[in-house]
């Protein structure tokens, strides 16, 4: 319902009552002489309007300081507002009221006389202050204001045409300031500030300042829009030109496929999420491809280069499995023992769980062949939930294999590191570098030196491949290297890696590995099941002891495969039954044993001592023989010995000569007899200092005619004064003694601490005698005629019973060796 009220003359200031209903306005400032519609929805505001309509239709309009306040209090309202008259009222269907109100004059709140159910206030009207400026200055301010207004309208400010007409014909400074302020769309605080200025000319000057500021803002906005439009026009122009070029090429029958190829490369580059430097280079090469004819050799080179760029996983990575119990379960399922390695991987995962960003470790597994170094890398990748990449470095001689070829060469490609990252499809795989100790060097560079940057955690975040020519982040990659020896590895490269030694396995461990891993795998590979074949534990033990002699289990798996093949052949011939392989019929499957007990070592002998040696394939037992014959005091050494081992023999002989009297040796024997020292298996090179005490024991036994105890093996370096120096490779030597069924080991006392690195179950059943000088070795190693027990003068090590005990004769084997023996 619309209610119109008859027009009445606007009351003078004196006719306006001192107390009026107050209407809070939220989003606008009402000026005098301003006619505007207002939508009223709050109950208190509707009641204020009803009170005004019931009397003289006059109402006081003031603005809220905060528009979001739904129920304002007196502090939420500005004190200066406008007295208005309600000209028209319309009730809306949603219970709101729309009124048309005209401002009459400004007024100030003197006192709030009522706050409920609506606001009512006692007000004081504010008359315009007379101006003291000359008419000329007044005209200048008015014109300046109009010109500023025209400028902002020219810059895009939208004002109603009728408002512009009114402004053009208005000369009153106060009314001009009011109408401009009410139509500029300024914020509430700025507009209220203009309303509260009493002096008309000061108010117009303030409006002029606002117009100048608005002009600067609009000029900057227009500049930004012009630049954006210019960029858009340039893009549109390039688009139209490109489309025209496509149309021309299509008419000529040229390069339509090339355009699609360029578009496809552009799409892949956008999807690859490349780093900024890489993206810049890719876009540069793409522009070169667009300008190059597709049949030229250069176009093919650029195309291959871009394919590598878009296929590399710049920002793709796999999520690590940080569930430590699950990762531990995977490691336990895949590998037997190797607790130190498993613990290291779990430690890395634990740190990754606590810290999201960390550098990948550089691990180096060192051990003989067949102990599971490579397969351990696969197991680590599976436990962590990462991709696995393997790269063999054996025989690598070209530096470009690591860093890649420069693009100036025909057929250039990235290095195998970048190729492995591409093959993995993620930027954080487990990357295994196999045989790092077998890298070669020639005129094409040193691959070991090229690996320094790859395996340095402080540098590999910006590894630059010669082919790509841009940084590739390798810091997220977990590098694992393997080696049989640490000596051939470049010292600077070895310093960047965390060395983890993996010794060989004892016979008990090999038995467990065969039962848990090797037999099930070979059964599956040969297409037979446990219903067809039964391998008894004594039979497995016989295969391990008499058909293999190695630190790992590779030959053991081959022998098991031989058994499986023969069973598979019989089943394929139709002889289907369950075959049981026992120690009694094992020779039918594998032939005669390859390693049999040495009969000559079944008793104590003069001049024959047992030593422990380290080889590339693990530990080994070494027999050293010494014999004296009539001659002129010469020393003969045979058995393909190296220089270091020959020097150890001369040092041992010198010590024996210096101690001849205490050993009961006639000094004249050294001038009348030649001494021959021989190490069997003469076709195999042997070198190293740790056979020194073994040679000295053999010489002392030969010259004093005292037999050496057959159940004892020894290792250690001897000096001219008989001091025993520390040796290396103790783990491998202990395993060799374990495989040879030797129970007592004589070793340098300085190596006692190294036993802590050997698993306790490997030490079970062994007795260690720690010595510091050669006299202690001879006391324990040589048999005396009265067989006195010399244990009280010695220091003993680990023993299953805690005391020295008598052991059975060792079972040793005659090996068919193919590697260099080092007694280090």
The answer on whether 300 is annotated among ligand-binding residues is: no
**Cβ pair 777, 693 in contact under 8 A:** yes
Those residues whose C-beta lies under 8 Å from the C-beta of residue 302, and which sit 6 or more positions away, are: 285, 288, 289, 292
682 labelled ligand-binding: no
DSSP reduced 3-state for 192:
helix
Mark 783-812 as b/e (b = at least 16 C-beta within 10 Å): eeeeeeeeeeeeeebbbeeeebeeeeebbb
414 is in an annotated binding site: no
Cα radius of gyration (the chain): 49
Residue 802 marked ligand-binding: no
Region of 435 on the Ramachandran plot (φ > 0 left; ψ -120 to 50 alpha; else beta): left
Q: Is residue 733 annotated as a catalytic residue, yes or no?
A: yes
Place of tokens 């906005």: 221
Q: Are strands 724-725 and 717-718 parallel, antiparallel or unpaired?
A: antiparallel
373 is in an annotated binding site: yes
Q: Which two tokens stand for residue 331?
A: 């490691």
**Residues 34, 37, 39, 43: is their CA dihedral positive or negative?**
positive
Which residue bears the tokens 């030649």?
Answer: 674
- Which CA distances in Å does 77 have to 114, 116, 189? 14, 15, 12
Nearest Cα to 624, choosing from 613, 634, 635? 613
Q: Which two tokens stand for residue 19?
A: 């107390």
69 CB neighbour count, 10 Å cutoff: 13
Kindly tell me the sign of the dihedral angle through the C-alpha atoms of 601, 607, 610, 616: negative
Residue 539 is inside which H or E element, if any?
Answer: helix 537-546
Residue 75 is assigned to a ligand binding site: no
Kindly name the residue from 690, 701, 704, 799 that is annotated as catalytic: 690
Choose, from 686, 731, 733, 738, the residue flagged as catalytic. Answer: 733
Specify the residue for token string 């498993």.
Answer: 342
Q: Is 690 a catalytic residue?
A: yes
Q: Where are the alpha helices (DSSP H) in 641-769?
A: 643-658, 660-663, 669-672, 692-704, 730-739, 760-763
Q: Strand 795-796 relative to strand 767-771: parallel, antiparallel, unpaired?
A: antiparallel
Q: Which long-range contacts (CB under 8 A, 24 or more apart) does 597-600 make?
A: 597/811, 597/812, 597/813, 598/623, 598/812, 598/813, 598/814
Residue 38 contacts residue 69 (beta carbons within 8 Å):
no
The answer to whether 367 is annotated as binding is yes
Provide CB contacts within 8 A for 630, sequence distance 6+: 672, 673, 674
Count CB atoms within 10 A of the CB of residue 781.
Answer: 28
- 292 assigned ligand-binding residue: no
Residue numbers annotated as active site: 690, 733
Q: Name the binding residues.
A: 367-374
Q: Name the binding residues for ATP.
A: 367-374
């Amino acid at each position: 319902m619309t209610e119109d009220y008859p027009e009445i003359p606007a009351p003078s200031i004196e006719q306006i009552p001192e107390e009026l209903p107050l209407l809070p306005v939220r989003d606008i400032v009402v000026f005098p002489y301003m006619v505007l519609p207002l939508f009223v929805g709050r109950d208190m505001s509707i009641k204020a309007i009803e009170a005004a309509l019931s009397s003289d239709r006059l109402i006081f309009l003031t603005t809220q300081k905060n528009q979001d306040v739904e129920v304002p209090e007196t502090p939420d309202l500005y004190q200066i507002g406008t007295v208005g008259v309600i000209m028209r009222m319309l009730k809306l269907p949603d219970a709101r009221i729309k009124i048309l109100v005209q401002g009459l004059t400004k007024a100030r709140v003197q006192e709030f006389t009522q706050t409920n159910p609506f606001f009512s206030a006692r007000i004081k009207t504010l008359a315009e202050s007379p101006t003291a400026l000359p008419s000329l200055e007044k005209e200048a301010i008015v014109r300046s204001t109009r010109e500023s207004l025209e400028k902002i309208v020219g810059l895009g400010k939208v004002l109603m045409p009728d408002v512009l007409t009114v402004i053009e014909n208005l000369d009153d400074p106060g009314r001009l300031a009011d109408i401009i302020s009410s139509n500029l769309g300024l914020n509430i605080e700025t507009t209220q500030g203009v309303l509260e200025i009493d002096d008309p000319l000061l108010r117009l000057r303030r409006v002029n300042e606002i117009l100048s500021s608005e002009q600067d803002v609009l000029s900057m906005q227009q500049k930004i829009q012009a630049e954006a439009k210019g960029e858009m026009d340039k893009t549109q122009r390039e688009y139209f030109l490109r489309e025209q070029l496509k149309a021309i090429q299509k008419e000529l029958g040229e390069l339509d496929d090339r355009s699609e190829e360029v578009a496809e490369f552009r799409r892949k580059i956008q999807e690859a999420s490349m780093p900024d430097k890489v993206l810049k280079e890719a876009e540069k090469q793409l522009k070169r491809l667009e300008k190059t004819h597709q049949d030229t050799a250069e176009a093919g080179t650029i195309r291959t280069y871009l394919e590598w760029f878009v296929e590399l996983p710049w920002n793709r990575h796999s999520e690590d499995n940080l569930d430590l119990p699950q990762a531990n379960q995977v490691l336990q399922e895949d590998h037997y023992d190797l607790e130190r390695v498993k613990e290291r991987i779990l430690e890395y995962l634990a740190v990754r769980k606590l810290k999201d960003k960390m550098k990948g470790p550089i691990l180096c597994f060192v051990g003989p062949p067949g102990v599971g170094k490579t397969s351990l890398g696969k197991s680590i990748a599976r436990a962590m939930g990462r991709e696995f990449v393997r790269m063999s470095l054996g025989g690598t001689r070209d530096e470009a294999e690591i860093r890649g070829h420069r693009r100036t060469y025909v057929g250039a490609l990235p290095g195998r590191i970048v190729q492995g990252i591409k093959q993995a499809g993620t930027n954080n795989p487990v990357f295994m570098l196999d045989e790092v100790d077998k890298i070669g060097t020639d005129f094409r560079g040193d691959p070991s030196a090229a690996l320094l940057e790859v395996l340095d955690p402080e540098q590999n975040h910006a590894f630059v491949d010669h082919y790509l020519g841009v940084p590739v982040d390798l810091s997220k990659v977990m590098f694992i290297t393997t080696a049989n020896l640490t000596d051939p590895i470049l010292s600077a490269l070895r310093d960047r890696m965390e060395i983890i030694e993996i010794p060989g396995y004892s016979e008990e461990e090999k038995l467990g590995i065969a039962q848990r891993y090797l037999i099930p795998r070979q059964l599956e590979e040969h297409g037979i099941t446990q219903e067809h074949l039964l391998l008894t534990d004594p039979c497995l033990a016989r295969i391990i002891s008499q058909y293999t002699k190695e630190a790992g289990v590779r030959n053991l798996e081959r022998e098991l495969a031989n058994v499986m093949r023969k069973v598979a052949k019989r089943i394929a011939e139709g002889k289907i039954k369950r075959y049981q392989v026992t120690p009694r019929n094992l020779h039918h499957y594998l032939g005669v044993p390859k390693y049999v007990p040495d009969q000559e070592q079944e008793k104590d002998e003069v001049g024959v001592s047992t030593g422990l040696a380290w080889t590339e394939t693990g530990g080994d037992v070494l027999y050293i023989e010494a014999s004296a014959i009539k001659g002129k005091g010469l020393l003969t050494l045979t058995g393909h010995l190296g220089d270091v081992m020959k020097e150890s023999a001369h040092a041992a002989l010198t010590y024996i000569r210096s101690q001849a009297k205490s050993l009961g040796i006639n000094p004249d024997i050294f001038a009348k007899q030649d001494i021959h020292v021989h190490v069997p298996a003469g076709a195999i090179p042997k070198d190293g200092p740790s056979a020194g005490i073994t040679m000295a024991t053999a010489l002392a036994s030969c010259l004093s005619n005292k037999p050496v105890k057959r159940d004892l093996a020894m290792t250690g370096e001897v000096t001219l004064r008989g001091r025993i120096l520390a040796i290396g490779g103790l783990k491998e030597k202990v395993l060799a003694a374990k495989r040879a069924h030797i129970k007592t080991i004589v070793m340098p006392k300085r190596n006692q601490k190294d036993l802590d690195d050997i698993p306790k179950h490997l030490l079970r059943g062994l007795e260690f005698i720690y010595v510091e000088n050669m006299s202690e070795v001879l006391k324990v190693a040589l048999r005396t005629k009265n067989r006195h027990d010399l244990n009280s003068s010695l220091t003993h090590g680990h023993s299953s019973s805690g005391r020295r005990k008598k052991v059975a004769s060792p079972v040793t084997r005659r090996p068919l060796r193919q590697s260099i023996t080092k007694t280090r």
